[in-house]
Amino acid sequence: MRKTTGNIVGQFFGGLHCYLRRCIFAILSVGPVPSHIAFIMDGNRRYAKKKNMEEGDGHKAGFEVLTSILRYCYELGVKYVTVYAFSIDNFKRKSKEVKSLMELMRKKIEELLEQESLINEYGVRLHFIGDMQLLTEPVRAAAERATRVTAHNNQRVLLICVAYTSRHEIVHAVQECSKEKFNEIQTLKEEKVTNGAFSRIDQGLKGNDFGLLSQDSCKEYRNAIKACSTEVESAARNDGLYENNIENHIDNDTEAETTLYNGLVELTKERKDIQDEVPFIKLADIEKNMYMAVAPDPDILIRSSGEARLSNFLLWQTTTCPLYAPTALWPEIGLRHLIWAVLNFQRHYFYLEKKKKQS
């Protein structure tokens, strides 16, 4: 009897809490609602130590909180949520702890795909952000399956950063850009070789040790030839050797000199045209190859435990993003922290939008 009464009371307060939450979200929705919120889930181990829990239980409690926070975000209308689940630096921890975290991650990924999970309830598409090759095979297989199964969902998006750091992401993007541009240059060179331009430059300049880069260089070469011709003429006059046959030779040399000069100018212009066509790495190229290219930049970054550090997380994407750092550890984060973060975002919304346009 008491158990039944307790269940009824629990259901009543649970329903009341849900109703009040929806009312609060309806009020918040009058103002600008963030499109993307990112979370640094810090403090799981400290929470376990604080509560005298066994090793690993803090992360389990943190996952339960994550489920609640995701539900709150999606109810509010936030489309993109990013969570920092596992850093590349975390691999430096004890092997036993890393193995335990990998196994917990695999189980939680599989739980997300269950029929009654919020992934299916809200039509959430999963993206795993980071270097997947650093993960264990079971975790990587579970992540690939989750990505594949949810690929058709388009209402909400959950980005889980695993084996991730922002520096690694930037290096990866630059490497991919370099590969793309190298392939473009190779294709361009092949086209020019086909048209005969590269073969003329390479054989005409490099083969004869001419490193001429501009028309000014050609003029300098011509002036040097003239100076040399003047010295030869002077020496010939002094030696009494300046006769008609010498004049004929000089005339021939002048004609050859002009021909060579015109040819070098033509080749230099062609090389300039080729240099203008060479593709360079641009900002848009790097952003296109970022792991986080699948989502817009975050509007709010929330880090638990009171730490005001980014810890190598989304350094590229958070240049105009406000940081909210409540002192609560991650398993202690609740609805009130999310509401406060959104209110702060709305209060500074127009200022933040102005900064985005200026950047």
pLDDT at 358 over 50: yes
pLDDT at 241: 46
Does 17 or 251 have the greater pLDDT score? 17
Average pLDDT, integer, range 125-133: 96
Check whether 320 has a pLDDT greater than 70: yes
pLDDT in tens, 72-123: 999 999 999 999 999 999 999 999 999 999 999 999 999 888 867 889 899 9
Q: Is the pLDDT of residue 133 over 50?
A: yes
Q: Average pLDDT, whole number, for the chain? A: 83
Q: Which two tokens stand for residue 17?
A: 């809490």
The pLDDT-based confidence of 185 (bands split at 50, 70, 90) is confident
Least confident of 315-319, 348-352, 354-358: 354-358
Residue 276 annotated to the active site: no
**What's the burial of 309, exposed, middle or buried (CB within 10 Å: 0-12/13-18/19+)?**
exposed
Please say if the pLDDT value at position 225 is more than 90.
no
Beta-carbon contacts of 190 under 8 Å, excluding residues fewer than 6 positions away, are: none
Joined tokens for residue 243? 């006769």
pLDDT of residue 203: 56
Q: How confident is the model at residue 200 (pLDDT cuts 50, 70, 90)?
A: low
Residue type at 88 in one-letter notation: I
What pLDDT band is residue 13 in, cutting at 50, 70 and 90? low
Please tell me the predicted confidence (pLDDT) of residue 202. 54
What gap in Å lies between CA 139 and CA 99, rounded to an integer? 11
Q: Report whether pLDDT(284) > 60.
A: yes
Parse the chain into domains and list their residue ranges. 20-163+296-355, 165-195+279-289
Residue 265 near residue 218 (C-beta atoms within 8 A) = yes
pLDDT at 213: 44
Segment 311-335 mean pLDDT: 95
| Residues 6+ positions from 356 with CB-CB distance below 8 Å | 320
At residue 67 the predicted structure's pLDDT band, cuts being 50, 70 and 90, is very high
Please give the pLDDT value at position 188: 81
Q: Is 323 exposed, middle or buried (0-12, 13-18, 19+ CB in 10 A)?
A: middle
Residue of 42, 89, 131, 239 marked active site: 42
CA distance 326 to 41: 12
151-160, 258-267, 350-359: least confidently modelled range: 258-267
Q: Is 143 exposed, middle or buried (0-12, 13-18, 19+ CB in 10 A)?
A: buried
Residue 250 has pLDDT above 50, yes or no: no
Which one is predicted more confidently, 63 or 276? 63
Read off the pLDDT of residues 26-65 as tens digits, 9 standing for 90 and up.
Answer: 999 999 999 999 999 999 999 999 999 987 899 999 999 9
> What's the average model confidence in pLDDT over 131-138?
95
Q: Which residue has the higher pLDDT, 250 or 129?
A: 129
Residue partners of 83: CB distance under 8 A and separation at least 6: 38, 39, 41, 66, 158, 159, 160, 161
Fold observed for domain 20-163+296-355: Undecaprenyl pyrophosphate synthetase (3.40.1180)
- What confidence score (pLDDT) does residue 355 get? 87
